[in-house]
Structure 1
Amino acid sequence: MASPLEQSKAERLTELILTMFRTNNATLAWGDRVVSPLGLTSARWQILGAIAQADRHQPVAWLARDLGANRQNVQRIVNDLQKEGLVSFEPNPHHKRAQLVVLTGKGKQTYEAAISLYNPLVEALAEGLPVEDVRAAQRVLSALHAKLETLVDE
């Protein structure tokens, strides 16, 4: 049986997890509003960002891994982005079937436009949040993420 202190920790963590769920949903809705003038969604923007920020061109499976997302969902979105001319596929010298995903000129412009819309809004969102609190939240969420990753791998 769990001690009252452990129960209290578990209850506190449950509250944090519920807050994370609500915050994630609100963040996605906010992101959708930010990039909707560009014909994007948060999901499409997130994938464009992963492509733009990668050190080198990557196949869909690597993008999905880096995002912690389902490969099939990322593939579907990448296919949509390709149809819209935002990404293209290039041969992968290391794998015949796993093509590399590359931003097109239009994709780069769209991503940069999204960042231009985002920057002033995130500055406003950051107002009143002490940097120390943001850093502490980052540490806690990173530690929780690492623990959850080990549970998924078991």
Structure 2
Amino acid sequence: MADKSLRARREKLVLDHFADEVSQEFDKVLATFPHPHYELVPTGVVHDGHRDVMRYYVDTRKAFPDQRHEMIQLRHSDDAVICEFWLLGTHKGPLGALPPTGQSFRVRMTAFFIFDGDRLVCERIYFDVLTMLRQLLGGVNWKRPAGALLVLRTLLGAFRELGGKRS
């Protein structure tokens, strides 16, 4: 197990990373990595490098401008800080092929912040995509033509996003 000093440094970096994401200070978030690298396990999407990760931040905040976290539990392993948290937000803009629904979500997630010593080398995120989609579509009135069209567009967009891996 990593010594207490190393664990404390890693934990501070992760908590600063989370705080800077919420305040949308993306240059500070990117500075927590020597080489930014995100893996979104449920979708198979990988964002690698400064430009790609910055685009991920910008795109997700266009879709969910009020995106934020509520920490549930933080744990340490030999090479990682593991965070369980709630991710919350309101779908106000497009996310790739997914049109905005105006609905809010609250999804439990786990992020593995993988380290090489003091260096953050990867953030690997796990969550249930269907739980998020269910919440984003939950308040849409399916009986109205506009609502049915929005649901159809959202589901088609989700299938496109889930089928297309990016790196």
What TM-score results when the alignment is normalised by the length of structure 1? Answer: 0.25
Structure ranking higher on relative contact order (CA contacts 8 Å, 6+ apart): 2
* Structure (1/2) with the larger strand percentage: 2
| Larger Rg belongs to | 1
What TM-score results when the alignment is normalised by the length of structure 2? Answer: 0.24
